[in-house]
Structure 1
Amino acid sequence: MVNRAQIYQAQATARVAADTKQPLAERLRNQLVLQQTIARLQDREAHGAPWFTKFGLNQDRDTLNVLWPLYARNNQALMRDALRDELHNQLTAYVQLPPGSDARSAATQRAYGLLKGYLMLARPDKADASWLAANMLKAWPTRAGVPASVWQTQAPKLLGFYAQNLPAHPEWKIKPDAELVGTVRQILLKQIGQRNAESGLYQEMLQRIARNWPDLTLTDMTGDTDASTLFSTSEVVPGMFTRQAWEEQVENAIDEVAKTRRAEIDWVLTDKTHQAGSDISPEALKQRLTERYFSDFGNAWLNMANSIQWHEAGSLSEAIAQLNLLADVRQSPLVALMNTLAWQGQTGAKGAALADSIVDSAKKLVGRKKNAQQFIEQARGPKGPLDSVFGPLNGLMAGKDGTGSNGNLSFQSWLARVTQVRLKLQQVTSAPDPQAMAQMLAQTVFQGKAIDLTDTRDYGSLAAASLGQEWNGFGQALFVQPLDLAWRQVLAPAAGSLNTRWQSTIVAQWNTAFAGRYPFKATGSDASLPLLAQFLRGDSGRIAAFLKTNLGGILHQEGSRWVVNPSVSQGMTVNPAFLTAVNQLADIADIIFAQGDAGVHFELMARPSRDVARMQLTLDGQSLDYFNQMESWQSFTWPETPTIPAWILAGEV
């Protein structure tokens, strides 16, 4: 009885679904009911029918055999052919877009989806029910004669069921327009090639990997050392851009992406007669993905390294403590960081790896394990994909006993020099009069004499420069600023003392000699030229002597003008207004003392004037007598003879 009732029900469902006189929306509903009946019978055939329908009387298979042809005819008319025509029309419209236009470029990704759906209808082995149901509704959101709500609800179910059963019924496939498919493939290959596809594959791969690897912080990179008193950064390195991630997951993930590349994309864009070229081969894809990964890898580490900020000490004692920790090979966070960077920089290198002790040490640091052995020397391993980024840093780590004179710089040598500076500064703080000794030390440098501190500052600047522009922020923060800021602690009191000495030896005596005198003030009392010469002479004047004696290592003369030597400024900032004033006085001295003694050489020419018949001018015994004659220039020197009145001017009417 149960089997007979099901057979009658199936027959009734089939008759209703076969009625072509019903409206399109009603026919789609009837087709969905038929589809649900078939799906129920499929499930019973796959998992077994209820026991009470068996006993040799079950007719599920026979019922299915009867319903499948009816379903196929209805689906062909209602869904398959309509979808084929819709996709064909949209692909044709895409082909007709102007080549190189923005419209074609914008429609490229959508056209790829249309072509993929169109080919799924023609290739049952590629049919993806879930993809087809979701994406074809986007391509065909409304249908004439069917309410939007009905179409949006029923179309995914009808399309999904059809695609799900298409592999088992290859006779349902469509016959594609080969010429249209070839044209669309050719356009898509030209428009997107593999770049857009590779970008999606790459990002998708990174998203999967990122979940497995936590971000690497500065604390992780410096192991058991404490960097908080020396430097810090809030930037992190994404965990997927680490050597561990590469060796344990990323490398294999890229291999898998390369292997499945054709199965995921190539069948849409290529076939036996339409090949896209060797650039889409798994090997080529693997190479491009690897290059892209290591480019992002290097940028991630550079971004973190260049964001590091050095902490300025508040006193000379704090600066000494910083240098002490910085140069201590066993406890230095900088050594730990350099070790980590060097080890990470060898990611992807093939062949002979780094020495086992080096690798183990860096692994312990990054793995947050206790008692990690610090190291400095590093074997120069084979070239790797990150050599262009980490090569300069690895070269600095690998150098031994570099002096900097021939470009042979080494991290180990720099640390030794930092220790020398720290010991020198400790002598300052241990002296009976620390301020006086600091001033003497700074004065020695201002006079152009090299000391350990300035030599090490120069060496640090060379080391930072050797890392290249890409590592500029990192090099400045960790190789230049530690010594620069320590030097400022010595420089501050010395600079104050220098300013005081200038005020007492130059400014105060200048004011005593020339305050209230012409030409520095509009009065009848002139400044003494011999006294002015004592200050202004470029060879032996007080100002020049002060600058040469006290700032000879910072300022130098270009002609008669004083300029700062930026390469040896030693951290001293010279007030530009001070230099401007000094050079203005130098310009005056060039004019007044052009002949050695104070004086000005000039020419005068008398011109006819109304109601004046004769003009006589006497200047320090030099006369100009004009009596309505031809004008001419006459030379004068001032002062000529100090005993003669300065000048006399007389005229006749």
Structure 2
Amino acid sequence: MNDNKNDNKTRPAGLFIGIAAVIVFLALGIAVWVEGPRYGWSRDTRIIVELSLCVAMLVVVLLVKYLEGVLLWIASLRASRWLARYDAGRRAASVDHNAKDPLPEQTDRAAVLRDALQDRHGRRWRYRERWVLIAGDEPLVKRLAPGLVDTGFAITGDTVLLYAKQTSSALDADWLDQIRRLRRRRPVDAVVAITRNRSVSNAPFDTDNLSQRLARHARALRWAAPTYLLNVTDFGSDASSPDETSGFTWSNAHVSTEAIDVSLRNLTANLADAGVARLAKDSGDRYPAELSQHISNLRNALTGLVLQTSQSRTWRHAVHGLLFAPLFTERELAPPVPADANDDDQPVGPSHRTIWQTVAEHSRRIHGYRVGFSLSTVAAWLTAGLIGCWIVGTMLSGFADRATFRSAADTVVKLSSVRDGAQALQTLNGLGRQIDTLEVRQRDGAPWSARFGLNRDHALLGALWPYYADAANRILVNPIRRKLEARLHQLASLSDAEIASGGDAQVQAAYDTLKTYMMLAKPERAVATFLIPQLVATSAPEHPTHSQLSKGGWEDLRQQAIAFFANHVGDGAASAQAALAIAPDGNLIASTRQTIIGVRGIQHSGDAIYQQIIDEATPKYPPLSLATLLGDTASQSSAGGATSRGLFGTTATVPGVFTRAAWDERISKAIDEAGEQRDVAGDWVLSDTQVANASPSTLKAELRQRYFDDYARAWALFLNSLRWQPAPTLSATADQLTLLGDPQRSPLVALMNAIVYQAGTGASAQSLSDTLLSKAQQLVGADEKDPSKQAKRQLAPLAATFGPIVRLTGSDLVSGAPPGGKGNTSPAATGDLSLARYLERITAMRLKTSQIVSSPDPDAIARLAAQSVLQGKTSDIADSRDYASRVAASLGEQWSGFGALFRAPFDQSWQVIVQPAASSLNEIWRTAILADWNKTFGGRYPFADSDNDASLPEMARFMRPDSGVIAQFVTSQLAGVVERQGDRWVASQGTDSGALTIDPVFLNGLNKLMRTSTVLFPSGDARVRYELRAEPTPGVTDMRFVLSGRELHYFNQKQEWTPFEWPGQSLENLSHIEWQTEQGGLRTALDSQGRFGLVRLLERAKVVQQDNARYLLTWTPDTSQGISLKVQLRSEAGGGPLDVLQLRNFVLPARIFVTGSANAGVRVSASGPPPLPMSAIEAAKHVAVPLPPGLPGEGALPDTVVQATTDQASGQRTALELAQAKAQATERGAAQQTAAAKATISPLATTSGLSESSSRPFGHALSLLGDAFVF
């Protein structure tokens, strides 16, 4: 007897499952009971949860046996799978060692098939080909598909043939199960059932055996695929019928006997015809004829085969085809095809590939169905059931919510239309009850009938609040407000003695009245327990005189409305509180507060304490100016110290009490003493600034915070008032940049050092022991990864305010700042934005300006540097200005004025560089574009009132939107300052054009030409398509509009649109109108000739726009009869030919940039003569004798003069005369510019902008004097 017989005894898994379930539920119960109060769960809620957990635990314990069975089933499946993999591996290993060419049955057929398909199609191999299962006797299958019986599968073309052996009644279910596992969704696409021909024509087929065979296949696969019956014959040979298929298929699920019989008859006839034809060619080719005879003999048996198979008692199969194929006796012993053979290799013999391909192709149009239990089918039905339940619940929820919405809408409509006071208050109370119901639903949950997705209680509640607020203010709050204001007015009219005579009760009543009024003005302060009795005591609103509601009922209704209002006025959202708040009377509140404070003797003393501290310290510390801050004295300037002269300055000062010296010496001590000795009392009702009974530490903190707020505000005002001092010339700008970029003498560095020192005010200095202790803490916690456990450095009180400025210097405001603060701050800082990098940019700009000043032709160098920016190219100047802008932006909005000081040097340098470029571009525009324009279109229609028409090709050359002369000039020369947005030219928003002012007239002219050219030259050439339709006119019997060879003839018939095109293709460019009245004969008027005859005709019409595409044109050729001829015009785009009228008297702008006298005063070079005094310039403006023309540099009229002349003439002449005057002035200017361009100019000239020389008196003399001076 073995003593260890129980050593391997298995223990039931259910025991462990039950123990684990009990432990889990116990842990959940303990967690719910202990942690429940943290989430607001009450005792009852926790008890309910505990009971639910207990019930769930009992259910799990009862189902332990079932869970154990499930686990054992899963374990058995895993074990069986493992054994299958193990056996397959063993067999593969034995094959590798014992045989060089193993047979397919000795290996894992499923793995071989999977690998073969993966090699052919990759990852998506399962459904790329059609899988056809062959069911039949082995001898027949061997003769139809050699090798398929041995391997179980064969790949032919795009079809995978499958076969499962069957011995007597036993089926190779394992192989079918492997097939099912390979393709779980659709194991096979079709089943081909093979039947043998009968020797006796009337003998029926063995349909029962066939049905049972198909049923066994379907059960094994759990899938019923479409079935095709294949009847094989013994006649036929490889030579006569190598690979051909005969038969027919259908897609219907059910087919009748008549349909099968008719199909067989048709097939018999077709085969007979084909057999006769093939016998005539080859007497040995007898297969079609024999097959026709075979089908004719067995037609009834074949019909019965199909019907009995599809309607079998054993299994109803979906038969979709009847096919015929010959058997080849010589193929029975053919060798099997290797599983890894290439499909493209030449097969050994006929493989009936056409049969399988036919079945595969036809099976794509029909599908099978699952057999037995299917998890996916059950899941689909469950999902459909859940969706149906959800739809029903959603509809029920929708009906319930719709009823709620309708009730709320009816209440709101009634509330807005009711006029009776009692009914209004009743409706308001009803709306309050609806809101209360929605709040309860939102808090506790909506009913189950309203929870299926369509519940909108939250949205409805938010939509009802504005209506309730409006109605409550009108019905309830306004009467109460009037009562309270009347009491407050009465209280403010009483003296302190009269109020005090009533005792504390009267004073408290006055205070409560003011508090109630303030709660209505500030709903966030409202307290329902205090507000309800106060509002009820007002007896407002009063009982209506003619109301049928009793006084008791009215009082109850009023109290309910007040209670709901008071409970919600302070608990709602910010928007709801704002809607319920009243607009208080500030004067009334101030006077009432003053009265109550005078009686009660309570006031806010914090302001007085702070002001007293500041007043006591102000005389001892004088204001701090910029010169004092920088030490800008004569001795320091002579010694080479920092000075702000010539760079920036300000007249503002910093109060002396807001300096570090004042804080260290007096202010901090005074605040500490005030915090220890005094207290502050306050009340939000009596003061807008709430100060509760503060402790000394709280008072000290508040005083310190207020001081540092004022400290930061004073320094912000001072630093934001700093202004850069502009320099008139580029050499002076270079001198400024030299001083500014020197780290040793730069006043900006000195100013930043002073700011860093002053910003450290209030930072506590650490002692030696504190410093050593902090160092030790940093060393110990250096490896600490958790940020919350690392030692935090205490920031100075002004760190948040001065942080953006101090970060530029590389310093940080912490408590451990250097004591005394006498060390200079290094300009080096980490990061891209720093003072050191800024000074590098200043130095680079200074080198650039020095290069321009020292060059032989400063104007040309400056013009080239600026034009690269104006043309949209990158440059160091643009990058430096962008860096300065980013430095200024890093300071934030609070230091915006101080940030402008960083941009000013670069803006000034850019301004003095860009002016010559602007003048040069104006000059190029006049000489290259304006002169050619005036030469081409001067005195021509439509640009002038003339009989001479402008050339359309020339207009296209100038005005084409993309390739015109003007468009090319703008895109090539002005890419950096002007950009195209759609069909409009607008000024760019970049910073590089900050020193330039684009003439609005120039942009308006460009946009006018762009709008016109878009319509006039849609494809490059002038072509405007439009349509005309005449309007009937009383008294006019016939109208004829002749336009460029085409005409619109209207004699009161049906109105029709007549297409026109301008300019027309006809050589006859005549436009006129003919009409005939009832009393008179044919008349003609408004004759116009030339290409612009149509435009001249439209110019005389009165145009009324009817919609976006149609215009009504009206002519009155004979004013004596008052007859108006009307025509409707419709174009493809815009106004069509009407848009050409915008070019009437159009004058091309004479300049691009506005370069007035202010801008002209900035000179690039300092090597020229000094400028004249302003008094001499003003006197020269009134000189009677102008400067003689023809001097060197004489150009066209300056921009300002042309503009002034135009503006002055506009008030004295008509629009037509003004346009002519502009055109003549432009032509004269272009001629003068051309002459000036041909004149010889000294290459040593250094003056900027010759075109602006005549805009100032003595301009020519100055230019000559400059040439002589340089020479």
TM-score class, shorter-chain normalisation, is 0.5 to 0.7
Rounded Cα–Cα distance in structure 2 between residues aligned with 1:576 and 1:401 = 45
| SS at 1:480 equivalent | helix
C-alpha contact (below 8 Å) 2:810/2:829 kept by paired residues: no
The CA deviation at 1:612 is 4.9
Rounded Cα–Cα distance in structure 2 between residues aligned with 1:253 and 1:445 = 58
Which of these residues, 209, 230, 239, is aligned with residue 647 of structure 2?
230
Match of 2:1062 in 1: 638
Match of 2:609 in 1: 201
Match of 1:509 in 2: 932
Rounded Cα–Cα distance in structure 2 between residues aligned with 1:89 and 1:337 = 62
Q: Per the alignment, do residues 602 and 352 of structure 1 end up closer, same or farther by CA in structure 2, a change over 3 Å counting?
A: farther
| SS at 2:1047 equivalent | strand
Which of these residues, 296, 302, 305, is aligned with residue 716 of structure 2?
302
CA deviations over 1:380-426 (Å, ceiling 9, x no partner): 985222123111111222289899xxx84112111101110110111
What is the identity, as a one-letter code, of the residue corresponding to 2:796? G
C-alpha contact (below 8 Å) 1:94/1:107 kept by paired residues: no
Rounded Cα–Cα distance in structure 2 between residues aligned with 1:278 and 1:568 = 52
Match of 1:385 in 2: 797
Rounded Cα–Cα distance in structure 1 between residues aligned with 2:893 and 2:1035 = 77
Which of these residues, 471, 474, 479, is aligned with residue 902 of structure 2?
479
C-alpha contact (below 8 Å) 2:1045/2:1066 kept by paired residues: no
What is the identity, as a one-letter code, of the residue corresponding to 2:607? S
Q: Does 1:463 align with 2:887?
A: yes
The CA deviation at 1:104 is 4.5
| SS at 1:586 equivalent | helix
Match of 1:311 in 2: 725
Rounded Cα–Cα distance in structure 2 between residues aligned with 1:550 and 1:401 = 40
Which of these residues, 453, 465, 468, is aligned with residue 877 of structure 2?
453
Rounded Cα–Cα distance in structure 2 between residues aligned with 1:232 and 1:325 = 15
C-alpha contact (below 8 Å) 2:809/2:828 kept by paired residues: no
What is the identity, as a one-letter code, of the residue corresponding to 2:673? E
Q: Does 1:415 align with 2:903?
A: no
Which of these residues, 955, 959, 977, is aligned with residue 536 of structure 1?
959
The CA deviation at 1:279 is 3.9
Match of 2:64 in 1: none
**1:217-616 matches, cutoff 5 A:** 217-223=625-631, 224-262=641-679, 279-350=693-764, 382-398=794-810, 408-476=832-900, 478-571=901-994, 572-609=996-1033, 612-616=1036-1040
CA deviations over 1:419-456 (Å, ceiling 9, x no partner): 10110111111111111111111111111112112111
What is the identity, as a one-letter code, of the residue corresponding to 2:1045? G
CA deviations over 1:546-603 (Å, ceiling 9, x no partner): 1111110111100121111122443221112211111111111111012431122211
C-alpha contact (below 8 Å) 1:536/1:543 kept by paired residues: yes
The CA deviation at 1:351 is 6.4
CA deviations over 1:317-337 (Å, ceiling 9, x no partner): 111111111111111111111
What is the identity, as a one-letter code, of the residue corresponding to 1:634? T
Rounded Cα–Cα distance in structure 1 between residues aligned with 2:649 and 2:920 = 34
Q: Per the alignment, do residues 550 and 595 of structure 1 end up closer, same or farther by CA in structure 2, a change over 3 Å counting?
A: closer
Rounded Cα–Cα distance in structure 2 between residues aligned with 1:614 and 1:221 = 93
C-alpha contact (below 8 Å) 1:351/1:382 kept by paired residues: no
TM-score calculated relative to the size of structure 2: 0.34
The CA deviation at 1:631 is 1.1
C-alpha contact (below 8 Å) 1:617/1:625 kept by paired residues: yes
**Structure 1 spans left out of the alignment, 5+ residues:** 1-86, 112-183, 270-275, 354-379
C-alpha contact (below 8 Å) 1:617/1:623 kept by paired residues: yes
Higher RCO (CA-CA < 8 Å; seq separation 6+):
1
| SS at 1:606 equivalent | strand
Rounded Cα–Cα distance in structure 2 between residues aligned with 1:551 and 1:575 = 13
C-alpha contact (below 8 Å) 1:315/1:489 kept by paired residues: yes
What is the identity, as a one-letter code, of the residue corresponding to 1:317? S
C-alpha contact (below 8 Å) 1:446/1:552 kept by paired residues: yes
**1:47-66 matches, cutoff 5 A:** none
Q: Per the alignment, do residues 608 and 238 of structure 1 end up closer, same or farther by CA in structure 2, a change over 3 Å counting?
A: closer
The CA deviation at 1:524 is 1.4
Match of 1:44 in 2: none
What is the identity, as a one-letter code, of the residue corresponding to 1:544? A
Rounded Cα–Cα distance in structure 1 between residues aligned with 2:765 and 2:502 = 54
CA deviations over 1:508-544 (Å, ceiling 9, x no partner): 1111111111111222111111101111111111111
The CA deviation at 1:482 is 1.4
Rounded Cα–Cα distance in structure 2 between residues aligned with 1:550 and 1:109 = 73
Rounded Cα–Cα distance in structure 2 between residues aligned with 1:469 and 1:322 = 27
Q: Per the alignment, do residues 609 and 303 of structure 1 end up closer, same or farther by CA in structure 2, a change over 3 Å counting?
A: closer
| SS at 2:762 equivalent | coil
What is the identity, as a one-letter code, of the residue corresponding to 2:961? G
Rounded Cα–Cα distance in structure 2 between residues aligned with 1:547 and 1:88 = 83
After superposition, the CA RMSD in angstroms is: 2.9
Q: Per the alignment, do residues 329 and 389 of structure 1 end up closer, same or farther by CA in structure 2, a change over 3 Å counting?
A: same
| SS at 1:240 equivalent | helix
Rounded Cα–Cα distance in structure 2 between residues aligned with 1:104 and 1:619 = 85
TM-score calculated relative to the size of structure 1: 0.64
Which of these residues, 106, 121, 124, is aligned with residue 594 of structure 2?
106
Rounded Cα–Cα distance in structure 2 between residues aligned with 1:539 and 1:287 = 69
Rounded Cα–Cα distance in structure 2 between residues aligned with 1:561 and 1:240 = 57
Rounded Cα–Cα distance in structure 1 between residues aligned with 2:1052 and 2:597 = 97
The CA deviation at 1:626 is 2.8
Rounded Cα–Cα distance in structure 1 between residues aligned with 2:610 and 2:747 = 35
The CA deviation at 1:255 is 0.4
What is the identity, as a one-letter code, of the residue corresponding to 1:198? G
Identity of aligned residues (%): 39
What is the identity, as a one-letter code, of the residue corresponding to 1:447? Q
Q: Per the alignment, do residues 411 and 568 of structure 1 end up closer, same or farther by CA in structure 2, a change over 3 Å counting?
A: same
Aligned positions, number: 448
| SS at 1:470 equivalent | coil
Rounded Cα–Cα distance in structure 1 between residues aligned with 2:828 and 2:875 = 19
The CA deviation at 1:308 is 1.0
C-alpha contact (below 8 Å) 1:601/1:638 kept by paired residues: yes
Rounded Cα–Cα distance in structure 2 between residues aligned with 1:225 and 1:339 = 11
Q: Per the alignment, do residues 635 and 207 of structure 1 end up closer, same or farther by CA in structure 2, a change over 3 Å counting?
A: same
Which of these residues, 1010, 1035, 1050, is aligned with residue 626 of structure 1?
1050
Q: Per the alignment, do residues 317 and 92 of structure 1 end up closer, same or farther by CA in structure 2, a change over 3 Å counting?
A: farther
Q: Per the alignment, do residues 420 and 93 of structure 1 end up closer, same or farther by CA in structure 2, a change over 3 Å counting?
A: farther
**Greater share of helix:** 1
**1:20-35 matches, cutoff 5 A:** none
Q: Per the alignment, do residues 568 and 302 of structure 1 end up closer, same or farther by CA in structure 2, a change over 3 Å counting?
A: closer
C-alpha contact (below 8 Å) 2:1038/2:1075 kept by paired residues: yes
CA deviations over 1:435-484 (Å, ceiling 9, x no partner): 111111111111111211211111111111111111111111x1111111
Rounded Cα–Cα distance in structure 2 between residues aligned with 1:232 and 1:401 = 25
Which of these residues, 619, 639, 659, is aligned with residue 211 of structure 1?
619
Rounded Cα–Cα distance in structure 2 between residues aligned with 1:428 and 1:92 = 88
